[in-house]
Amino acid sequence: MSQPTSRLNQRQREEVTSQQQGAQNTAALEFAAAEEMLRHDAGQIPVPPAVAERLQKSVASEPAPPKSWWQRLLKG
Amino acid sequence: MSALITETPVEPAPETSSPATAVQRVPLEPPELEAIYEEHSRPIFYLALRMLGDPTQAEDATHDVFLKAYRKLGEFKGNSSIRTWLYRITINHCQNLLQTWHRRNIHGTDDETFWERAVGPGDSPLRVLETKELGQRIQKSLDALPEEYRLLLLLVADEKLSYDEVGALTNQSSDAVRGKLHRARKTFAAAFHQTA
């Protein structure tokens, strides 16, 4: 008799989880200020990998840049 | 999904990073450029995206900004933080683009594939839509603001910048930043509500 109960519990758990996920999907986002919304927005947007790939190619075709003050300092 | 802006005191938000939105690592040479890119490319790309309003142009601008930074690494004297220095290059670059005849006459593209890439492969179509929709509303609201307010909000949104640094980047005192920020928030909130 414990198996049907267990199945029922499993189903109930799945339904509850599904409802919770649904609630999260439709919940309103609330932000205290504009910059907080922008911060959230920025967190959703990664840099496209193509930028680094292009940059790598561009840098490879550039002459070496002059050393910065801190590099000169460290290397004497 | 709906989004609200409530006028309550602002608490610093913890930085969130999920696998879906993590920066994909591509090794760059020299090593210092790679480290700089890894740490700062995301805020630079976001600033360019929201200043220009176009993902493709923001990609180009981010590439150009880091290439300029690479060329000028030797001139960087450490008087400001690297991030502030990169922001200055980005602001100048984007403002130049916005002023050119070419930019004024080319309408931004609403790049569908960009928004699909902006969320992780495991995210549902609903999430793609939510991210895109919120992004569009934010872009419309920012576009409705005076340029000064738009830039102010975008810079203040970066928690790594102090008001002094925001002031230095926008050529004003930190007190002026605080004063204008209040008006910028209100103007943005009003514009955002109109996009609903």
What interhelical angle do B31-52 and B55-71 show, nearest 10?
140
CATH topology of domain B116-196: Arc Repressor Mutant, subunit A (1.10.10)
Beta bridge partners of A18: none
Provide CATH code, domain B29-109: 1.10.1740.10
Based on its alpha-carbon atoms, the radius of gyration of chain A, rounded to whole angstroms, reads 27
Asked if residues B41 and B23 have their Cβ atoms less than 8 Å apart, the reply is yes
Beta bridge partners of A31: B5
| Confidence category of residue B196, pLDDT binned at 50, 70, 90 | confident
CA distance A37 to B154: 10
Task: Flag whether pLDDT at B109 surpasses 60.
Answer: no
Task: Flag whether pLDDT at B185 surpasses 60.
Answer: yes
H or E element in which residue A71 lies: helix A69-75
Task: Give B102 to chain A, closest Cα distance, Å.
Answer: 22
Query: In chain B, where are the structural domains located?
Result: 29-109, 116-196
Mean of the per-residue pLDDT values of chain B:
83
pLDDT at A16: 54
Task: State the SS3 of B28-40.
Answer: CCCHHHHHHHHHH
DSSP per position, A10-70: HHHHHHHHHHHHHHHHHPPEEESSHHHHHHHHHHH-PPPHHHHHHHHHHHHTSPPPPPPHH
Provide the H-helix boundaries in chain B: 31-52, 55-71, 82-99, 101-105, 112-118, 125-143, 147-156, 163-169, 174-194
Do B74 and A67 lie within an 8 Å CB cutoff? yes
Q: Does the model's ipTM exceed the 0.85 cut?
A: no
Q: Which of A29, A30, A31, A35 to mutate to test the interface with B (most CBs of B within 10 A)?
A: A35
Q: Which residue has the higher pLDDT, B119 or B133?
A: B133
A26-40, B64-78, B170-184: least confidently modelled range: A26-40
**Tens of pLDDT along A50-76?**
999 999 999 999 887 666 666 666 554
pLDDT at B12: 41
B162 phi and psi angles, rounded to 5 deg: -85, 165
B111: left (phi over 0), alpha (psi -120 to 50) or beta: beta
A56-65, B32-41, B175-184: least confidently modelled range: A56-65
Task: Give A22 to chain B, closest Cα distance, Å.
Answer: 11
The residue whose two tokens read 């198996």 is A3
Q: Which of A21, A59, A73 to mutate to test the interface with B (most CBs of B within 10 A)?
A: A59
Task: Flag whether pLDDT at B50 surpasses 90.
Answer: yes
Mean pLDDT of B184-193: 95
**Tens of pLDDT along A15-62?**
555 555 544 444 567 888 999 999 999 999 999 999 999 999 999 998
